[in-house]
Amino acid sequence: MCTSHTTSNVFDALALHRIESFLLSELLSGGCRDLALLEGLVILSREVDRKLGQALEAGQDLSLG
């Protein structure tokens, strides 16, 4: 069973992943080595992991309850 909070975390993670994918494609297609872009990708990657982790924790809590 999914709560609205779990669903929100999943949608947030998917949206962040799309942004992350776009930035990565820009970095690879442009051939430039922009440090700020790389740092942004690392931050986005961590945020995606955090949001998915929150969604998984909420899902596990529901299955135990």
- Going from N- to C-terminal start, the domains of the chain cover 4-64
At 46 the pLDDT is: 87
Please indicate, yes or no, whether the overall pTM of this predicted structure exceeds 0.75. no
pLDDT digits (tens, 9 = 90+) for 17-63: 888 888 788 777 876 667 787 888 888 888 888 888 888 887 755 44
Q: List Cβ neighbours of 55 (8 Å cut-off, separation of 6 or more).
A: 6, 9, 10, 13
pLDDT, greater one: 14 or 59: 14
Q: Helix, strand or coil for residue 15?
A: helix
Whole-angstrom Cα Rg for the chain: 15
44 vs 7, residue with greater confidence: 44
Model confidence band, residue 64 (pLDDT cutoffs 50, 70, 90): very low
Identify the pLDDT of residue 7.
Answer: 73
User: Whole-angstrom Cα distance, residue 38 to residue 22?
Assistant: 12
The answer to whether residues 51 and 2 touch, using CB atoms and an 8 Å cutoff, is no
